[in-house]
């Protein structure tokens, strides 16, 4: 039976026809629809927790990948062809692609958004990840990782309460998982580098981007986060000759850029460099992980004639809401990787 027809049945049949897990996923989607507001931020049921409206809008679409892209996508286009194009262009250079979508905060912390739900009951994108894998893409699915981490590390917070980004603790977990994947699947060896060390956690305070300059700013104290920093003899800088390129949106920059993203030396770039033992190459964009980051990569590559000769793997990190909520109005355009 066609998957789109199955999706229609899921949302058309009475709830009595659904399994318990389908029932909760359906109810979560409906809750997301009901709570959409004309604002960039939606407050959760848990005090001090806030959620990006565009993330909730994507979650309100349910199994969006089973619906026409011109209906569910903000720019009315399908992201998959451009993702496959990127994969194929890199393959022509003997470079591999590892796709790392960052889950929605409300998928990992549904009870903070709506108290009627527990971790694991929200509609996530794991089925879509399987579709992408079936089309030939290497994809890390972080949803099951963090849902499991929440069970065993109840003292850690993996998403910021006031901010749209994952937390410093999540940066460490994702960096280690990427490093393990690079070693096991792509032959990127991990080497011990005593010059790159992680500190013990220490507390910092931030004002999250979801409440800054908003009606909630003055009524919420600064958020406290436990942070592990990466220490090195000199400032850790992107290495254009590294075999690993970390590409993507602001999730590649948060906690690595003190001026714009809370602090430095504690982001995904820093911890991935520490995990593999040397500085990786970084091409991060404040927004537009699916399109803008690739345009910036093209501009970078043409400035270095031998750029691709150094590369083995591109690690492409972006918020999962980009699949339907991309603000790049021209759609998921074709982007070359060199002249």
Could you give the CA distance from residue 338 to residue 273 in angstroms, rounded to a whole number? 26
Considering the chain, what percentage of its residues have pLDDT values greater than 90? 84
Considering the chain, what percentage of its residues have pLDDT values greater than 70? 95
Residue 8: the pLDDT is 36
pLDDT tens track for 242-288: 999 999 999 999 999 999 999 999 999 999 999 999 999 999 999 89
Domain ranges of the chain: 3-325
pTM summary value = 0.92
Give residue 116's pLDDT band: very low, low, confident or very high (50, 70, 90): very high
pLDDT tens track for 97-108: 999 999 999 999
Among the residues of 1-98, which ranges form H helices? 3-12, 20-35, 53-59, 69-72, 80-92
Four-residue CA torsion sign, 238, 143, 228, 214:
positive
Beta bridge mates, 166: 159
* Contact between residue 265 and residue 236 where contact means Cβ atoms under 8 Å apart: yes
List, in order, residues 6 or more apart from 308 with CB less than 8 Å away: 93, 95, 301, 337, 338
* Contact between residue 139 and residue 101 where contact means Cβ atoms under 8 Å apart: yes
Could you give the CA distance from residue 19 to residue 14 in angstroms, rounded to a whole number? 11
Residue 85 has pLDDT above 90, yes or no: yes
């Amino acid at each position: 039976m066609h998957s789109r027809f199955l999706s229609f049945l899921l949302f058309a049949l009475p709830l009595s026809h659904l399994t318990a897990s389908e029932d909760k996923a359906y109810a979560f989607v409906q809750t997301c629809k009901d709570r959409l507001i004309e604002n960039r931020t939606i407050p959760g049921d848990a005090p001090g927790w806030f959620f990006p409206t565009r993330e909730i809008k994507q979650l309100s679409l349910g199994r969006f990948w089973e619906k026409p892209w011109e209906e569910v996508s903000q720019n009315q286009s399908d992201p998959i062809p451009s993702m496959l194009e990127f994969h194929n262009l890199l393959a022509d250079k003997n470079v591999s692609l590892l796709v790392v979508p960052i889950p929605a905060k409300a998928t990992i912390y549904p009870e903070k958004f709506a108290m009627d739900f527990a971790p694991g009951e929200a509609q996530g994108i794991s089925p879509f990840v399987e579709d992408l894998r079936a089309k030939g893409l290497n994809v890390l699915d972080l949803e099951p990782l963090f849902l499991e981490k929440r069970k065993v590390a109840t003292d850690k917070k993996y998403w910021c309460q006031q901010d749209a980004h994952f937390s410093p603790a999540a940066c460490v977990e994702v960096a280690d998982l990427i490093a393990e994947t690079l070693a096991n699947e792509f032959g990127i060896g991990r080497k011990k580098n005593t010059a790159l060390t992680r500190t013990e956690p220490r507390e910092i305070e931030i004002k999250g981007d979801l409440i800054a300059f908003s009606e909630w700013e003055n009524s919420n104290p600064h958020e406290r986060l436990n942070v592990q920093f990466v220490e090195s003899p000199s400032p850790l800088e992107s290495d254009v000759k590294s075999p690993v390129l970390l590409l993507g949106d602001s999730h590649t920059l948060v906690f690595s850029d003190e001026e714009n993203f809370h602090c430095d030396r504690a982001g995904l770039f820093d911890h991935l460099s520490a995990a593999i033992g040397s500085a990786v190459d970084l091409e991060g964009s404040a927004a537009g992980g699916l399109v803008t980051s690739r345009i910036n990569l093209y501009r970078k590559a043409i400035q270095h004639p031998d750029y691709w000769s150094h590369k083995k793997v591109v690690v492409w990190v972006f918020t999962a809401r980009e699949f339907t909520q991309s603000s790049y109005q021209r759609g998921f355009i074709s982007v070359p990787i060199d002249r």
